[in-house]
Amino acid sequence: MTKTALITGATGGLGHEFVKLFAANGDNLVLVGRNAKKLATLKAEVENKYQVTAMTIAVDFSEETAAEKIYEQVKQAKIQVDYLVNNAGLGGQGSFLERTMDQDISMMRVNMLVPTKLMKLFIPEFVNRGTGKILNVSSSAALIPGPLQAEYYATKAYVTSLSNAIAYELKETGVTVTTLMPGAIETGFAKAGGLTQTKMFAKGASPAVVAQEGYQAMLAGKLNVFSGLSKVQRPFVGLMPLMPKKAIMGFVANQQSNPG
């Protein structure tokens, strides 16, 4: 039986890679993003190349009712979602003092409210069927506080904590929740967040590699998967929560600066 994957942020670098992975597996798609024109182009691309069916939903993720709009359109189309990929995310550099209230509220809605609501809406259906897989895109940034991206790091800590707790609660239901925790990736995310000139994003990982590792981890029902980290970064990331907070925050703040 053909399955369907709902992917938010589908037209972006990492989202586009997820789309290709599911389509190559023969899965139908619900493509969700902000730009209707880009969604239409992506729909034509995957339907022609992979012979799958794709539905598009254009929505502003910063709207408070974005998740409800997505869910309602899926129900109206009588589509059964088997995979939920919460990939859409919003970054943004700047101190807490400098950033506006609107910027921070928008980020919280995109990074926390939308994925939470989508899980709240779709998980009961997954549990009733005894099957379903969720992949939530978080970040390795979730492990520590992040000066000059304080809100972003905090939203990803929320996503990781919530996802892990829900995964535990669902462990006997046949439904899994996997959290992807990548390092810096070469995608439009960095550009949108004004991060392309920072040390952290000077050498981002390939979105194709990160998506593949997240996809495989989701299929296997793993809890967390780190991706896009160098051999040097991997052990360092594991030790970050144990390091003195002031020292690690100084390192993070330095990484937000320009390479010079």
Taking alpha carbons only, the member of 9, 66, 14, 17 closest to residue 46 is 17
Which entry of 50, 71, 83, 152 is annotated as an active-site residue?
Answer: 152
Is 156 among the residues known to form the active site? Answer: yes
Is 215 among the residues known to form the active site? Answer: no
Which entry of 20, 43, 117, 156 is annotated as an active-site residue?
Answer: 156
The answer to whether 146 touches 93, Cβ cutoff 8 Å, is no
Q: Which residues contact 148 (CB under 8 A, 6 or more apart)?
A: 93, 94, 95, 252, 253, 256
Neighbouring C-alpha atoms within 13 Å toward the C-beta of 258: 3
Paired with 98 in beta bridges are none
The answer to whether 175 touches 134, Cβ cutoff 8 Å, is yes
The answer to whether 250 touches 144, Cβ cutoff 8 Å, is no
- Distance between CA atoms of residues 79 and 73, nearest Å: 9
Classify 151 as helix, strand or coil: helix
Q: Residues with catalytic annotation?
A: 152, 156
